[in-house]
Structure 1
Amino acid sequence: MHNRVVRTVLALTTVLTLLTLGPTSSAYADTIQTGNRVCSMYVNAVGFGAYCSSGKAYIPGPNAGPPPTWRKKLAGRPFVPCRDFEIPQGIRLPQAPAGKSWAMRITIADYDLDSYNGGPRAHLERAYVAVDDAERAQCPFPDYMKQFWWRFDDSYPAPVLQIMPTYTPRVNIPAYFSLTPDSSLAGKSDTKKYTAEEMTSGLFDQTHNLTMRGMVVNLKIDPGDNTGTFDCKVGVTPVDDPDGYDQSQDPYHQLNTCKHIYTKSSASQPDGMYTVKLTITWEVSYWVGKDAGGWNPIGRANVTAYQRLPVQEVQAIGG
């Protein structure tokens, strides 16, 4: 059954413009079959997530028979293949027509009720639709349909910029920039929350179905002193070296290339601080249990942030 509604539709594959503080980024979506469920995943400048059909995995007991089919789970009740969700944050849409509002409608398509997981052709179709009350009523969500749907989502953590060798840089001495490990990685799983060490190791419990990961892969920095921007290739730093700075070496002999030299102090700036603009590029990937291919990227999105930074003249002893 397909719901046929006269509506304005932005299809799953459409690239959408995002509403951000800085330059706009893109929204991406992908649909996969994972275990006994089909998942529609998304990434935008606010966060990422997934909407899955067919409920939790079937775990048989010692004397259990085959998993129940969808028809058996319905027990004679009608199957409602569509469900409306709120529009994910960060997506810009035109004004909805009078009397209507926007919804993200996900439909389970090409399903087979006589299978335990919807059948091999089952998949999710996503559309952003403008609907009125009558059109919303075409996709009710009775309690018994909860077993066929599942979702998770996550937002990116607030960026925390580290500056080495000191948080207050000195004029004519290199200042090195990095993001803290906690603010450069975000992950979500349908079974548990993984630690930073687990997310970077590539070793996972093989019983889970889907894990999604957002990781910072590029950091564009405008230091605020009218010298232009520069790019830093970044990733999750090792636990034993969270800032990528070698304390045994002086600031002029570091391997980290994400650095900037201020030639003037920030004394003349508002509040005595430079305004540093960060453009953080998140890459979102997914991992399916027992997937030998490892992480599969979905897409990238940019997040803009600002941080105030005092810069001081080098102080000398004596006169």
Structure 2
Amino acid sequence: MRNRLSRGLIALSTVLALLVVWPVAPASADTKHFNEGVCNMYVNSNGFGAYCSGGWIGADLASWRELLGNRPFVPCRDFEVPPGVTLPAPPEGKDWVLRLTIVDYDLGTDAPPGGANAHIERAIVPVDREDRAQCPTLGYMDRFWTTFEQGYPPPVLQVNPTYTPRVNVPAYFDLTPDSAYVLKESNIALFRAGGDNLTMRGVVGHITVDPGDGSKPVECISGVAPIGKDSYDKTKDPFHQLSTCSHVYKRSSANQPDGMYTVKLKIRWDVSYWRTATGDWVQLGSAEVEAVQRLPVQEVQAIGG
């Protein structure tokens, strides 16, 4: 069975793996090597996640040969294509899948799980029933694969000093904390039970705000005034703020559709991962998300309200 699987994988990857590549920047994907196993992590405009392979028994790491017993090792598995990946229609009778294949693995008893050279290769390929049979989903292999996904929250624009800006008074833009930061943690199967978690996070590091009144966009960068940390100082007036993420509307929105300006946002999410064993955040990649929000502007010279 193992030999048949291997021959089928070689034939399939040779013909199909070059048909589709992972999305171009600002999306990215990479394989990360850990002593306990390997993870393929990705970030794109829809979210981020990880596909990992490894295994454990209790609190002690076991070799893959010990975990398998006398059963064959199936080195590949098909997953749904992650959200955010745009593909053409598949060939007739086939569906697109994300096929992950563990290569250069070592089943030796004394080797760390998977061996020191094990890594995951990825390809988005069209498959039919016969193609899927080359990478069967066998129950005893479930422990060798773990996956989790995390989408970005809908952006919620904060405007200070009041949500409805006043003409000739600076309006300061920011995102709510809940829409500027997202965390995903999992005690994934390849790490020691109770001993080493994998955590991934997304943080908004940059926003471009098009105010919608024909003026040039405003660039808002995380720094002195962190995005999503309520950077507006309510103890000071709007003319004396540290934040530079602001715009002065010269006209009200009365003549705009529905009496509101259409504000366009371009948001850059920076994604990192962290492990209990290392304690350091490691940058994985960045992705941009676009959104639109409607904003009324009033012809009032005072700040109140």
TM-score category, normalised to shorter length = 0.7 to 0.9
In the alignment, structure 1 residue 8 sits paired with structure 2 residue 21:
no
User: In structure 2, do the counterparts of structure 1 residues 128 and 235 end up closer, same or farther at CA, with 3 Å as the change threshold?
Assistant: farther
Which amino acid is 1:229 matched to? P
**Who is 2:181 aligned against?**
185
Structure 1: runs of 5+ lacking an equivalent: 18-24, 61-66, 193-205
Give how far 1:289 is off: 2.7
CA distance in 2, matches of 1:75, 1:55: 13
User: In structure 2, do the counterparts of structure 1 residues 69 and 48 end up closer, same or farther at CA, with 3 Å as the change threshold?
Assistant: same
CA distance in 1, matches of 2:53, 2:256: 54
Structure 2: runs of 5+ lacking an equivalent: 1-5, 189-193
CA distance in 1, matches of 2:224, 2:59: 35
Give how far 1:10 is off: 4.7
1:207-226 C-alpha deviation (Å, 9 max, x unpaired): 42421111111100111101
Secondary structure, aligned partner of 1:298: strand
Q: Is 2:76–2:101's contact at 8 Å kept on the other side of the alignment?
A: yes
Q: Please point out which of 64, 70, 73 is paired with 1:70.
A: 64
**Who is 2:3 aligned against?**
none
**Who is 1:33 aligned against?**
33
CA distance in 2, matches of 1:38, 1:123: 6
**Who is 1:276 aligned against?**
263
In the alignment, structure 1 residue 138 sits paired with structure 2 residue 125:
no
**Who is 1:90 aligned against?**
84
User: In structure 2, do the counterparts of structure 1 residues 298 and 106 end up closer, same or farther at CA, with 3 Å as the change threshold?
Assistant: same
Equivalent residues in 2 for 1:240-319, closer than 5 Å? 242-291=229-278, 294-314=280-300
Which amino acid is 2:31 matched to? T
Q: Is 2:55–2:62's contact at 8 Å kept on the other side of the alignment?
A: no
Q: Is 1:184–1:236's contact at 8 Å kept on the other side of the alignment?
A: no
User: TM-score scaled to structure 2, two decimals?
Assistant: 0.87
Give how far 1:96 is off: 1.7
Give how far 1:297 is off: 1.4
Secondary structure, aligned partner of 2:158: strand
What is the aligned-residue RMSD (CA, Å)? Answer: 2.5
Deviates most, 243-252 or 259-268? 243-252
CA distance in 2, matches of 1:117, 1:44: 29
CA distance in 1, matches of 2:244, 2:163: 17
User: In structure 2, do the counterparts of structure 1 residues 148 and 191 end up closer, same or farther at CA, with 3 Å as the change threshold?
Assistant: closer
User: In structure 2, do the counterparts of structure 1 residues 236 and 298 end up closer, same or farther at CA, with 3 Å as the change threshold?
Assistant: farther
Taking only the aligned residue pairs, the percentage that are identical comes to 53
**Who is 2:50 aligned against?**
50
CA distance in 1, matches of 2:203, 2:187: 20
Secondary structure, aligned partner of 2:262: strand
Give how far 1:191 is off: 3.4
User: In structure 2, do the counterparts of structure 1 residues 56 and 89 end up closer, same or farther at CA, with 3 Å as the change threshold?
Assistant: farther
Question: How many residue pairs end up in the alignment?
Answer: 287
